[in-house]
Structure 1
Amino acid sequence: MLKGQAVKRLGKKAKKSFRGYPVATIAFYGPDNKKATKVAVAIVLAAEQEPAELRRWLSDDRDVRTDAEIATEILTFIDGAGVKTVAMVDQIIGCPHEEGIDYEGETCPQCPYRAGRDRWTSETLH
């Protein structure tokens, strides 16, 4: 497979309906709503279970949503786990930094855009 096709193939897998377990969940994170700098992929083996595996890819200079190299690595990871269903968000859902690890408190000091915003809509909370 050509590397440029990996992003497209990943998107096609996510558009298919539920096909059974294992399921791969793919979530994108970034300091704002423009550029994703982190992608987390979890493998869930059965309903009502915690993820069996979790991997993260990070980039400071590229958007991970369109990076062919990262998409190829994700495809290799999910294919190796025998994934039947891919669930992927179509937007950036939060800060790439982890509370308690990268910062303390409710908001990340490195991502002021995210402070006071809904993670799903990016709208300002009242």
Structure 2
Amino acid sequence: MHIDKAKKRIAKLVKAGFKGYPQISIAYFGSSKDCANEVVIQLMAEEGGAIQEQRFTSTTDVRADEVVQSMLVKIIERAEVKTVLEVAGVTTLDEKR
């Protein structure tokens, strides 16, 4: 899937707001606000349920990585996610700790 198409699909799902469960949360982390080297995806199947987490890292910005963005879309589709939340911006690794 082309990078722009994947980003638009994710943005559309985020903009739709809460539609129920399962729910996915996407957060980007990096050494600076300009470059996200890591993305963390958390899946909650039901309200109050256990959270499953996956992390993907890259030497380049994961937000501009076609493989990573396409993978996020595939995870959303396969899990039949109803709600997608995205943390705005990039959290620096110093803030994460």
Give me the TM-score of the superposition, normalised by structure 2.
0.87
**Structure 2 partner of 1:59:** 58
Matched, 1:79 2:77: yes
**Structure 2 partner of 1:22:** 22
Distance (whole Å) between structure 2 residues aligned to residue 63 and residue 14 of structure 1: 20
Distance (whole Å) between structure 2 residues aligned to residue 90 and residue 66 of structure 1: 15
Letter in 2 for 1:56: R
Q: With a CA cutoff of 8 Å and minimum separation of 6, indicate the structure with the bigger relative contact order.
A: 2
Higher helix fraction (1 or 2):
2
Higher strand fraction (1 or 2):
2
Moved runs in structure 1, 4+ residues, more than 6 A? Answer: none
The aligned length equals 96
Q: Percent identity?
A: 29
Distance (whole Å) between structure 1 residues aligned to residue 3 and residue 34 of structure 2: 23
> What's the offset of the Cα at 1:3?
4.3
Matched, 1:11 2:16: no
Distance (whole Å) between structure 1 residues aligned to residue 27 and residue 2 of structure 2: 24
Structure 1 residues 18 and 36, CA, compared in 2 at 3 Å: closer, same or farther? same
Matched, 1:37 2:37: yes
Structure 2 counterpart SS, 1:7:
helix
**Runs (5+) with no aligned partner, structure 2:** none
Distance (whole Å) between structure 2 residues aligned to residue 63 and residue 32 of structure 1: 11
Contact 2:3 2:65 in 1 (8 A): no
